[in-house]
Chains A and B, each alone.
Chain A
Amino acid sequence: MKAPDLELGLRCEDAEVRIGAKALLSRATVRLAPGRVTAILGPNGAGKSTLLSVLSGQREPTAGRALLDGRPLRAHGMPALALRRALMPQESAVAFDFSARDVVALGRYPHRLAPAPDEDAIVAAAMALTDVSALAPRVLNTLSGGEKARVHMARVLAQLWHPRADGAARWLLLDEPTAALDLAHQHAAMRLLRGWAGQGVGVVVVLHDLNLARRYADEVVVLGVPDIPGGLCQGPTAEVLAPPLIEAVWRMPCQSVVGADGIEQYLFG
């Protein structure tokens, strides 16, 4: 019998997800500490969303394990988990004509048994953060893709709004939150996530834009790296995300330039 593992943080060890003979994720080991922005990167089909669903407790790995603060995610219980971990999905059709405000308010569902004194204010403030206050009365399904994404981001922010009374870290997982956003909203969203990480929230975000990752992520997890067991590479963004690795993973010529503001950017092709 092993001693209880009390390491704080979110991690998975040798996590594998198989459906039949097909491996959606193979032997992934990732350790995440709260208070940082971690970007999950990789080509299509590398298992980014699967890794996120394992880390959220939504999917149980078929082999290996996923732990939050040393306990298997599922052992926390889904209702308790919902109080400190939110996942923004990639696609999100909502049945019936719920308004944008209704959808954000659903983020408060886990707190319905012990509501905060300012439930309505939380919903309004979360909508203001992602710039969707003006859309509040609109029916969600009539909004554009980018507007929907911002409404759902407000929903997951509302879900984790207040720090936990027990001091446990909150975890915000997002699957390509910037994919449908315009340039200004992409950067606004990433700055917002950085701000939340600054308050001690663990932010894990799947991205396709390497420049966004380079600029805003403390750490990256790259999937689909050739010639590495498990194909997974984790480390500080500036160290890991170098042009040779990018060329090996995405098979695109890549060079890095430093702009006038001193920020490194990648050029492709």
Chain B
Amino acid sequence: MSQRFPPRAVLAGCALLLAFALALGAVSGAYAISLPQLWKVLASLGQGAAADKSPEYLVFVNIRLPRLVLGVAAGAGLGMAGTLMQGLFRNPLADPGLVGISSGAALAAGVTIVLGAWFMPVLPRTLGSWTLVVMAFGGGLSVTLLIYALSRSEGGTRMALMLLAGIAVNALAGAGLGFLSVMATDEQLRSLQFWLLGSLGGARWSAVILVGVAVLLSCVAAASLAAPLNAIALGESQAALLGVDVERIKRRAIVVTAVAVGAVTATTGIIGFVGLIAPHWVRMVAGPDHRAVLPASALLGAALVLVSDTVARTAMAPAELPLGVLTAFIGVPMFLLMLRHFRGRI
């Protein structure tokens, strides 16, 4: 028997958690901002007052706020995409990395970091600091397209084939990265490693707005996929009998995932576990209806990334811990505890 919480309550709970994570992230850091100070800054932001040149205003607007927004976008994009992939594959083990986005982005980033100066002396000059972002995004997208093409058969996409193609291509990308790490200089190795473990440290307004818009558009597009994904839980052929255009839903879900996760990963590097864990947490308390799981996973993913990032930049300050390490350290034990508590329901 399942004592589930109503979707509205779960959504409200996740929103509250995100609000708390935002407040926590806003006040803590190398330059501490007290709550009354934060209130004053927000008030002057609301009035559009450019006169406020207090240090806390400058720190908040230029350093902390873009980082918070990037964290929200990254977490929401990963949580939403994780839900889509698990629903599409009808498999609770699926995550956005499975379709090759992360490994494609990682390989492209690795090539850019280690071999960029060699192969593409023109690219950094034209794209400047955007080189890594553009390369990673392109890498993620092209590997996703490759895996999608490999899994097509008889006019349809076979999900089991896609899963296997994804695992194989991911392994190949891993080997490529291993090869690159041997060729890399110490400095390149550090930046490669940092990229593979994720960070919100690259939050500049220009990049943040780009990622924010990409994730926002993806979330809007994903909203129309929730009801069909419920039908797909019955199996693809049953969903088709209920009038779902299964191939179109698959294409859309994959494109939405590739754009959201591609944009996020290109800016932050690989942030693990959020896409896998957030949907599970929500399903445990709200049940499997995607109309609730999709928005709630986005909110919860955002909260998880924000809390992890806050710990990452304060725990060992002034040193910053890699974000991917924190999302795993914080997310996985809590996840395992919940698994124990709700084990009857998986």
Contacts and interface: CB of A to CB of B under 8 A. Distances in A.
B237 A78 contact: no
B243 A102 contact: no
A99 B287 contact: yes
A83 B241 CA distance: 10
Interface string B86-106: 010011100000000000000
A137 interface: yes
Given A82-B242, A97-B345, A92 B234 contact: yes
B240 A97 contact: no
A110 B289 contact: no
B30 interface: no
Contact of B240 (A78, A80, A107): A78
A103 interface: yes
A97 to B, nearest CB: 5
Given A97-B2, A97-B288, A98-B288, A58 B241 contact: yes
B233 A96 contact: yes
Given A96-B233, A97-B345, 15 more contacts: A56-B241, A78-B241, A78-B245, A82-B241, A89-B235, A89-B237, A95-B90, A96-B92, A97-B287, A98-B288, A98-B289, A102-B230, A109-B242, A109-B243, A159-B242
Given A58-B237, A58-B240, A109 B287 contact: no
Nearest to A77: B243
Nearest to B289: A102
A94 B234 contact: yes
A250 to B, nearest CB: 29
A86 interface: yes
B238 interface: yes
B210 interface: no
Interface in A28-83: 56, 58, 78-83
B22 interface: no
Interface in B222-269: 227, 230-235, 237-238, 240-245
Given A82-B243, A95-B90, A96-B92, A89 B227 contact: no
Contacts of A80: 243
A114 interface: no
Contacts of A89: 235, 237-238
Interface residues on A, range: 20 to 34
A139 interface: yes
Contacts of B241: 56, 58, 78, 82, 86-87
A54 B268 CA distance: 50
Nearest to A110: B243
A22 interface: no
A79 B345 contact: no
A162 interface: no
B102 to A, nearest CB: 23
29 contacts: A58-B240, A58-B241, A78-B240, A78-B243, A89-B237, A93-B235, A94-B233, A95-B232, A95-B233, A96-B92, A96-B233, A96-B283, A96-B288, A97-B2, A97-B283, A97-B287, A98-B233, A98-B288, A102-B287, A102-B289, A106-B233, A106-B234, A109-B230, A109-B243, A109-B244, A110-B242, A110-B243, A137-B1, A139-B345
A112 interface: yes
A164 interface: no
Contacts of A94: 233-235
B319 interface: no
A191 interface: no
A99 B345 CA distance: 11
Contacts of A102: 230, 287-289
Given A82-B241, A82-B242, A106 B230 contact: yes
A18 interface: no
A109 B283 contact: no
B346 interface: yes
A251 interface: no
Contacts of A159: 242
A170 B91 CA distance: 34
A79 B249 CA distance: 14
Contacts of A82: 241-243
Contacts of A79: 243
Contacts of B345: 97, 139
Nearest to A80: B243
Interface centre among A83, A96, A103, A139 (most CB of B within 10 A): A96
Contacts of A56: 241
B100 to A, nearest CB: 22
A173 B14 CA distance: 43
A17 to B, nearest CB: 13
A110 B231 CA distance: 10
A98 B1 CA distance: 11
